[in-house]
């Protein structure tokens, strides 16, 4: 990593207890030595003064698939139910997937999680503008919808 680059290390605790101690070093220099305080901790390194989502909100999502990843999918929709982005066709069981997405400002965004078989089991962590707003496990026959953003539009 050069001086003008930005990197983010994400530590994920699927149980949401955040009790893991950690030390992060780069090129032999200790960057941080801490204890995880939440389900999703981020360590930012380098020059991160330029945001990757100018004039937008940042949605971070971490997903841990269950034994049947092919059953799981998700979509992000705007206020008018237009699909902004989606993902399906997961192939790897018990694997972490991490997404950083930009959502429009002055608007609501809804993250919808689906399990086509209806048996649940996928863990997920959702962060909006740097704040963890949901840590949960998908339940049987329940397809969660997580609403974020400006609800006045």
Structure tokens at 103: 């959502």
Task: Assess whether 39 and 98 both reside in one domain.
Answer: no
Residue 1 CA to residue 8 CA, distance in Å, equals 11
Q: Out of 35-49, 62-76, 114-128, pick the least confident.
A: 35-49
User: Does the residue 84 lie in any domain?
Assistant: yes
Task: Assess whether 41 and 61 both reside in one domain.
Answer: no
pLDDT category of residue 112 using cuts at 50, 70 and 90: very high
Give 29: exposed, middle or buried? Use CB within 10 Å, 0-12, 13-18, 19+: exposed
SS3 150: coil
User: Per residue in 32-65, pLDDT tens?
Assistant: 888 777 666 777 676 665 556 766 777 878 888 9
What angle is formed at CA 119 by the lines to CA 124 and CA 38, rounded to 5 degrees? 20
> From the DSSP assignment, how many helices (H) and strands (E) are in the chain?
0, 12
pLDDT for 114 equals 94
Task: Provide the domain count of the chain.
Answer: 2
Q: Which domain holds residue 67?
A: 56-149
Task: Assess whether 38 and 64 both reside in one domain.
Answer: no
Task: Assess whether 41 and 100 both reside in one domain.
Answer: no
User: Does the residue 51 lie in any domain?
Assistant: no
Task: Assess whether 105 and 124 both reside in one domain.
Answer: yes
């Amino acid at each position: 990593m050069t001086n003008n680059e930005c990197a983010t290390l994400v530590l994920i605790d699927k149980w949401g207890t955040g009790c893991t101690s950690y030390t992060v070093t780069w090129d032999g220099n200790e960057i941080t030595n801490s204890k995880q305080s939440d389900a999703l901790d981020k360590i930012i390194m380098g020059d991160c003064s330029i945001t990757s989502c100018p004039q937008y909100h940042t949605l971070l999502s971490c997903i841990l698939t269950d034994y049947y990843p092919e059953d799981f999918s998700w979509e992000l929709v705007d206020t008018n139910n237009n699909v902004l982005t989606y993902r399906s066709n997961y192939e790897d069981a018990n694997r972490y997937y991490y997404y950083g997405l930009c959502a429009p400002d002055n608007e609501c965004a809804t993250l919808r999680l689906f399990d086509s078989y209806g048996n649940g089991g996928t863990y997920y962590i959702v962060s909006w503008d740097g704040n963890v707003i949901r840590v949960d496990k998908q339940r049987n026959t329940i397809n969660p919808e997580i609403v974020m953003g400006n609800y006045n539009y």
